[in-house]
Amino acid sequence: VQNAILLLIAGHETTANMTALGTLALLRNPEQLAVVRDTDDPGRVALAVEELLRYLTIVHTGRRRVATEDVEVAGHLVRAGEGVILVTDSANRDPEAFPDADRLDIDRPGVRRHMAFGHGTHQCLGQNLARTELQLAYPALLRRFPNLATAVPDEELRFKDDMLVYGLHALPVTW
């Protein structure tokens, strides 16, 4: 049962929420939306998806780990046996790794270093499927509905900020 729940959340909730949030982010940045909609270059779309993954990072729970030996991190000693929480959504907004990190920039160099899918042995097993789905979904949606726009003001949008996977409860649109 736990594996089925994990697959449902990891395989559906993440991609569904990422599709809605990425669409909203692009609608808020029309010049970047136009690039994703109008390009014939799948590589450009792939980089746009990587930037959206970095910019949005929809899993905000952090990875919980226990230090196996004493280690110094940014001048702080973490002793063996102490717990740490790795907050990857914050890592994706690190200005040293991503200059002007709070701005969506689909042409950002080096964006593939983001942590949206975790790191090392704890990377998401479905990341390639998720990337493929998003690389197909955004251009298809934006080309099918070239006049897509939000149907309500931003302040009426309800975000899933109290759930395991960040997203929108609904994204009312017009076209």
Neighbour-count burial for 87-97, b at 16+ CB within 10 Å, e otherwise: ebbebbeeeee
> Where residue 116 sits, what CATH number does that domain have?
1.10.630.10
Integer Cα distance of 40 and 35 in angstroms: 9
Residues in the chain: 175
Q: pLDDT per residue over 73-91, tens digit each?
A: 889 999 999 998 878 778 8
> Domain tally for the chain?
1
In a domain, residue 96? The reply is no
In a domain, residue 97? The reply is no
Which structural domain range is residue 137 located in? 2-61+104-174
Task: State the pLDDT confidence band at 95, using cuts at 50, 70 and 90.
Answer: very high
pTM reported for the whole predicted model: 0.87
In a domain, residue 76? The reply is no
**Average pLDDT rounded to a whole number, residues 59-83:** 90
Integer Cα distance of 75 and 73 in angstroms: 5
pLDDT of 124:
83
- Single-letter residue type at 52: L
* Closest to 19 in 3D by CA, of 156, 144, 138: 138
Indicate if the pLDDT at residue 120 is higher than 90. no
pLDDT of 152:
97
Indicate if the pLDDT at residue 69 is higher than 80. yes
Q: pLDDT per residue over 6-47, tens digit each?
A: 777 778 889 999 999 999 999 999 999 999 999 999 999 999
Q: pLDDT per residue over 141-170, tens digit each?
A: 999 999 999 999 999 999 998 887 889 999
